[in-house]
Structure 1
Amino acid sequence: MMRADARRNRERILMTALELFTERGPGVSMEEIAQTAGLGVGTLYRHFPDRRAMVEELAEITLEGLRTHIRGRLEERPETYWALLLDVMNYCAWQPLSLIVSLAGSAAVPPSCAKLWDEVGELLAEIAGRAQQEGSMRRDLTPEQAVDVLYATVCRPASRFDGPLTTVVLDGLRATARQEP
């Protein structure tokens, strides 16, 4: 069992790392995380033996939060699936998804993270498919292709929901009279 102060330090490290990775991308150093958290580097390394261990835990926390968010919103029966998609994209913009992509590109992804990534992708494809059925999303892409486009938008450092790339991508995915069959 972890002492209360050690548990608080671990949570402070994770929350600080989450903030920094979300703001600046995967290039943040362990020393910056420790300093910003107001802790020594030794304290950080007692909790996480290396950067990868911390990144894997953050990835799992992030993906679990995203999955929970999407499931919760689906259960609320959204007014439109396009509105739900926008809500999820906004939520994603505040997550360090570029960190998860960097994890996948560097070595074997832990099975728990791979499973969560797949579940999130399936939920997003469900939303995209329903948005297409309601006529709010263009239909010349499969739901899975739409998810790939959305990932390219939000899985990059400093992704912003109101940023130009996100705006252009969402405008391009939205159904218009010209695109409808």
Structure 2
Amino acid sequence: MRADAQRNRELIATTALDLLARRGPAVSMEEIARAAGLGVGTLYRHFPDRQSLLDSVAATTLRTLLAAGRAEQSSAAPRWQVLVRIVARCTGLPLALISSLPDATRVDPTVADLVAELDALFQGLVEDAQREGSLRADLTGAQVVGLLNVAVCRPGARADDPLTTVLLDGLRARP
């Protein structure tokens, strides 16, 4: 791919990521092209349809989160702190996009694999925090991951918003 074409593709993906994180999955292709300072034709040359753009952004987002999660997982910090830091990281990403992708028959296999890896990482952290005694033990790892998805997989999610803070307060083990 030519250097200018590669720059345009990256610009489109970065712009889409930013708009989707701030406004949710309803952002139009035309809005993305306009915000990137490119024509709609350029956008469609790189991403032939909305789904291919969404799949690309979802895969990039999940890879970024997985790398951050693995780095956090290897830290010596208490598991509760690690989990809270990852949740905070999640709130800055367009995870609502991933939860809004069409049914499983159309989900890109790469995206599905990355979601499964992330779920496993989160479940492992949850189980570690439960063994540590910092997270309630009366829920399964899958249940906790499902609850965390409610908090972080929505447009405008923030680490300090009431839904996220109340949910984390409810998950925290009490002495």
Give the TM-score band, short-chain normalised.
Answer: over 0.9
Q: Find the counterpart in structure 2 of residue 127 from structure 1.
A: 125
Q: Find the counterpart in structure 1 of residue 149 from structure 2.
A: 151
Unaligned runs of 5+ in 1: none
- The alignment's TM-score, normalised by the length of structure 2, stands at 0.97
Q: Using the alignment, how far apart are the partners of 1:60 and 1:5 within structure 2? A: 22
Q: Find the counterpart in structure 2 of residue 112 from structure 1.
A: 110
Instruction: Output one character per residue of 1:101-132: Cα deviation in whole Å (capped at 9) or x when no partner.
Output: 11144852111111110110000001011111
SS of 1:103 mapped into structure 2: coil
Q: Using the alignment, how far apart are the partners of 2:86 and 2:139 within structure 1? A: 19
- The alignment's TM-score, normalised by the length of structure 1, stands at 0.93
SS of 2:38 mapped into structure 1: coil
Q: Find the counterpart in structure 2 of residue 72 from structure 1.
A: 71
Tell me, yes or no, if structure 1 residue 31 matches structure 2 residue 30. Answer: yes
Tell me, yes or no, if structure 1 residue 17 matches structure 2 residue 30. Answer: no
Unaligned runs of 5+ in 2: none
Match for 2:2: what amino acid? R
Cα distance, 1:69 vs. partner?
A: 0.8
Cα distance, 1:144 vs. partner?
A: 1.2
Match for 1:25: what amino acid? G
Instruction: Output one character per residue of 1:56-78: Cα deviation in whole Å (capped at 9) or x when no partner.
Output: 0111111111111111111223x
Distance 1:124 1:104, change over 3 A: farther
Match for 1:136: what amino acid? S
Q: Find the counterpart in structure 2 of residue 4 from structure 1.
A: 3
What do you get for the CA RMSD once the two structures are aligned? 1.1
Count of aligned pairs: 175
Aligned pairs (5 A) from 1:157-168: 157-168=155-166
